[in-house]
Amino acid sequence: MTIPQNPLLNDRDVEFLLYEVLDAPRLCELPYFADHTRETFDLYLQSCRRFAREVLFPTYRPVDASPPRFEGGAVAVHPTLKQVFQPMIELGVLTAARPADVGGQQLPLVVAMLAGAYLMAANLSACGYLGLTTAAAHLIQTFGDEALKSAFMTRLYAGEWTGTMALTEPQAGSSLADVQARAERTDAGHYLVRGSKIFISGGDHDLAENIVHLVLARIDGAPPGIKGVSLFAVPKRRHERWPEGGRLVPNDVEVAGVIHKIGWRGLPSLAMSFGERGDCHGYLVGNPHQGISYMFQMMNEARIMVGVNAAATASAAYHEALGYALARPQGRPLGSKDPRTPQVPIVEHADVRRMLLRQKAIVEGSLALVSTTARYADLAAHAADPAERERAQRLLDLLTPITKTFPAEKGFESNALALQVHGGYGYSSEYLPEAWLRDQKLNSIHEGTTGIQGLDLLGRKVVAGGGAALMALGGEVEQTIGRARRAGVEPAWCERLGASMSLLGELTMHLAEAGLRGDVERMLRHSADYLELASILVVAWQWLAMAAAAREGLARGASPAGFYEGKLCAAQYWFSTELPRAPALAALCRSGEDSYARMRPEWF
């Protein structure tokens, strides 16, 4: 049995999204992207997919098998990561979507992100170091003063140093209002930072000379809660003289312990100690007490990155399962009576096709979702019309919790199906699906759990500005319905999606009224169910857009026709099996069903 080489992502899917669904080259009409064309997009995509398949993917198994070691107070990563780290920087991953004036290629995020998805599918841990570094540099670029940019941003974008987010504390978890790390201002202008952080991804390693931690802490005397949290750049090693420079010296930043993770095993997750000896220098980013608002830029970028990672991880497992199902002979057709007839590949069995089609619907729906979200990020930052920028920003804000959650939650289900397709081989470590399943589980926890994303979506995003973002989404869906009708897509799909969006709007108003009456608990009681409902509808919107593009492709005689027919089959699956769940979820949210709300701790 020869299993085909795993492509990680289907190149034709990526081209379909960029050029037939989203019309990415149209972004080149904007002044910011004017130097780009489809040719420059394709060059970068080709470079990344080649590197992912030929160089990065072979490192995945050994890195997963041998996590970083904590020895002598420092963390050492797998040697193969050192071999690919610098080539990844030279590929341009750190600055692909960053401005030319900081050394970037100024590519649209939608292009850079899909190119990066190949790399994430190949080895998500290796990509994690660079994703965090880019986001840290961008935050300093946006909010830091010139001294910080000169000292840190330039080196981060160059890949000389790496960056982290140091937010979570053992006693606080995701509740950043309870951060206790302290910062004391000195006459020299810097702050002395002291405190403990936990679950710090990439907090120590031997890939780069230095690491810049973006640390949330309270300046002595700051007000309690969110309004008293500030943001500091805290390097592992600091320059002997600030801001002039000089040699690098230890900055009283230590690793207190290593978290032994089930997945993402090549990217260390650490407990960190700052200022145990009273000599940890931190440099204020922006203004005092604005740390949470600043950090949300990096957090939201990281949430989208987690969604891309989740889609990429599900994609790698789906293609592995598809290759296995095409190659693995087992059993005979149901109507076959002669045991002497040859066995058939398991893809011939209807239940295997069911599992593969569900994976396809989830994976390709997720890739469309993250691509659409990235396109709104491009428009929010660079559209010529201020009103269009504002509208795109609303849509970006609304879609971010869905983009983070759907690929992670449904991606885990897709990964489980990939393992199931492999049968008994699937739960053995000799085959890759079990490793991707472990990786995927972390994505529903990284950068805010699913519960937090539901609270964010219903408690903030859909009601902000009097529901302006949800109305904007409704307008986008109506445009897609119009395109689908013109293309000849099944009319019932258009009608069902339109009715479901109306249902979502009515439900949102009903829940918002409860919030306005002061019953916030009642409003948010089923926020996780609301998030699932919104996710199903948003992905149905994506599948309607892909169905429209598929019909257009068939009408113009584009080939292969089977590619487009596969899209239509997957769209049919989503509209037939997932969208019908919308009324039940909406009814549950509206009902206020209170079983777990009234359940007392002692009753469990």
Which positions are annotated as active-site residues?
Answer: 447
Q: CA geometry: angle at 359 spanning 554 and 362, to 5°?
A: 75
CA 191/CA 219 separation, integer angstroms = 8
DSSP type of residue 10: -
Helix (H, G, I), strand (E, B) or coil at 340: coil
Strands 182-185 and 210-219: parallel
User: 10 Å Cβ neighbour count for 101?
Assistant: 8
10 Å CB burial of residue 517 (0-12, 13-18, 19+) is: exposed
| 3-state SS, residue 162 | strand
Question: Residues near 554 by Cβ (< 8 Å), separated by ≥ 6?
Answer: 561, 564, 565
Q: Residue 409 and residue 411: Cα distance in Å, rounded?
A: 5
**What burial letters (b/e) apply to 554-589, b meaning 16+ CB within 10 Å?**
beeeeeeeebbebbbbbbbbbbeebbeebeebbebb
Question: With contact defined as beta carbons under 8 Å apart, do 370 and 407 qualify?
Answer: yes
Which residue is associated with the tokens 């020895």?
71
CA distance readout (Å), 147 to 233, 284, 517: 11, 11, 48
Distance CA 48, CA 42 (A): 10
Rounded Cα distance, 45 and 14, in Å: 9
Residues ≥6 apart with Cβ < 8 Å to 560: none
Tokens representing residue 253 in the block: 């930043």
Q: Pull the structure tokens for residue 228.
A: 């008293």
Q: How far apart are the first and last CA of the chain?
A: 50
**Which DSSP state fits 97?**
T
